[in-house]
């Protein structure tokens, strides 16, 4: 008889439940911004804090929780604890307190990456650490009332650099040419220059930032493990590869849209390409990595997926395309419909993922 499986620990389960509540509140707040008040006002994210709550409250909490579970160091648990406290402060309409707590959480997460890098000087660790610093920098810019689109760009870089570092870590298992290594470093350097230029208010910094996203998308599409030919993929591995390929395409399209908008004189903070990056690229990564990350965090086992879990991914892509059309046509009705489809795709994926959880092996009765 196999040994009984341990259930999720309270240290991971409680922050995970708060992350789920934060996501639900953030989704409700996003729909309220589109004129769809589906939940009571106190159950939705405050409209002005929707973006901050989604990036810092939800993604910041999930990413720092995953790092804390992986590193198993007591101090690192302060990052998800601070991120969770920041989410509660935001929901209590205390944005200054929330920003301070999220800033502290980002610094703790960054310090954890520095500790890992000090023991093993790996490029992917430095990139993920830069992502944590981008979270801190974006929160500091928001806290000091700098242009909100600049803070959003830094927050987006927190997510993009974290993903880029994780994918570069996996790329160690396949041979990379000298050109591939230089191209990756060049994309990361371009990203850093774009961020610094945006913080300094330099002209052309927005175009540099979008060029960095395009360069990263091209690198991922060419060299990432998920697109390598000749690899046999089945089950959740195949699901993850499909999601990642789709996400890389959305990242490239978002970058091209952002560059085209800047060429036409559109402001850098235009919502269209940024939403495409966050909902097309980032959530494709979420859908792809969730079957890997959640079992590790919560000590669960998932049954083979079949095709059904990919249906919400396709629904999200359709919603992102509809949102892009709505932005181009300035059509509020289409924008609202896209928002509903995006929220439904996230909820549907969560339900399908939970439906694949296998029951744990019970402990044998005492003799």
pLDDT tens for 9-65 read 555 667 777 777 777 777 777 777 776 665 555 555 556 677 888 899 889 998 998
pLDDT reported for residue 52: 87
- Pair 20, 98 in one domain: yes
Question: Is residue 365 assigned to a domain?
Answer: no
53, 283, 19, 81: CA torsion to nearest 10? -80
- Pair 111, 133 in one domain: no
- Pair 1, 111 in one domain: yes
pLDDT reported for residue 270: 83
Q: Which residues contact 190 (CB under 8 A, 6 or more apart)?
A: 208, 211, 212, 215
Instruction: For 362, list phi and psi in degrees, rounded to 5.
Output: -70, 155
pLDDT reported for residue 4: 44
End-of-domain residue from the set 187, 209, 231: 231
Question: Is residue 366 assigned to a domain?
Answer: no
- Pair 197, 279 in one domain: no
End-of-domain residue from the set 96, 115, 134: 115
Q: Which residues contact 335 (CB under 8 A, 6 or more apart)?
A: 34, 323, 326, 327
- Residue 263's region, left for phi above 0, alpha for psi from -120 to 50, else beta, is alpha
Question: Is residue 309 assigned to a domain?
Answer: yes
DSSP 44: S
pLDDT reported for residue 190: 96
- Pair 259, 326 in one domain: yes
- Residue 168's region, left for phi above 0, alpha for psi from -120 to 50, else beta, is alpha
**Cα angle value 106/164/212 (rounded, 5°):** 100
Asked whether the beta carbons of 252 and 211 are under 8 A apart, the reply is: no
End-of-domain residue from the set 174, 198, 231: 231
- Pair 140, 217 in one domain: yes
Q: Dmax over Cα atoms in the chain, in whole Å? A: 77
pLDDT reported for residue 36: 66
- Pair 183, 250 in one domain: no
Other Cβ atoms less than 10 A from the Cβ of 109: the count is: 30
Question: Is residue 238 assigned to a domain?
Answer: no
Query: Which residues of the chain fall short of a pLDDT of 70?
Result: 1-13, 35-48, 230-232, 298, 360-367
Question: Is residue 367 assigned to a domain?
Answer: no
pLDDT reported for residue 210: 97
- Pair 127, 111 in one domain: no
- Pair 94, 45 in one domain: yes
- Pair 188, 259 in one domain: no
Q: How many structural domains are present in the chain? A: 3
Question: Is residue 29 assigned to a domain?
Answer: yes
- Pair 90, 134 in one domain: no
Question: Is residue 237 assigned to a domain?
Answer: no
pLDDT reported for residue 45: 52
Instruction: Print the domain residue range for 260.
Output: 243-360
Question: Is residue 341 assigned to a domain?
Answer: yes
- Pair 247, 197 in one domain: no
């Amino acid at each position: 008889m196999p040994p009984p499986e341990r259930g999720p620990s309270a240290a991971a389960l409680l922050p995970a439940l708060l992350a789920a509540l934060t996501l639900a509140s953030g989704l409700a707040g996003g729909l309220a911004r589109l004129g769809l008040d589906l939940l009571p006002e106190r159950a939705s994210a405050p409209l002005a804090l929707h973006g901050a709550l989604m990036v810092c409250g939800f993604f910041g909490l999930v990413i720092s929780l995953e790092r804390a579970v992986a590193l198993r160091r007591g101090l690192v648990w302060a990052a998800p604890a601070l991120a969770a406290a920041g989410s509660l402060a935001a929901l209590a309409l205390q944005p200054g307190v929330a920003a301070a707590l999220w800033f502290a959480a980002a610094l703790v997460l960054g310090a954890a990456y520095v500790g890992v890098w000090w023991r093993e000087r790996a490029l992917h660790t430095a990139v993920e650490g830069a992502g944590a610093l981008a979270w801190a920098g974006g929160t500091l810019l928001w806290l000091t009332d700098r242009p909100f689109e600049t803070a959003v760009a830094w927050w987006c870089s927190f997510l993009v650099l974290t993903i880029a570092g994780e994918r570069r870590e996996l790329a160690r298992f396949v041979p990379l040419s000298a050109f591939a290594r230089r191209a990756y470093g060049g994309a990361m350097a371009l990203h850093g220059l774009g961020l610094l230029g945006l913080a300094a208010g330099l002209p052309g910094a927005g175009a540099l930032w979008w060029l960095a996203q395009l360069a990263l998308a091209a690198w991922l599409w060419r060299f990432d493990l998920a697109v390598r030919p000749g690899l046999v993929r089945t089950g959740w591995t195949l699901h993850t590869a499909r999601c990642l390929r789709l996400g890389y395409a959305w990242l490239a399209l978002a970058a091209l849209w952002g560059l085209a908008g800047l060429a036409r004189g559109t402001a850098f903070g235009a919502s269209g390409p940024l939403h495409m990056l966050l909902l097309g690229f980032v959530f494709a990564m979420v859908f792809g990595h969730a079957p890997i990350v959640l079992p590790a965090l919560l000590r669960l086992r998932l049954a083979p997926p079949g095709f059904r879990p990919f249906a919400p991914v396709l629904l999200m892509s359709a919603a992102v395309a509809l949102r892009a059309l709505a932005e181009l046509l300035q059509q509020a009705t289409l924008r609202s419909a896209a928002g509903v489809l995006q929220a439904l795709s996230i909820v549907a994926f969560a339900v399908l993922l939970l439906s694949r959880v296998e029951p744990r092996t019970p402990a044998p009765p005492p003799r």
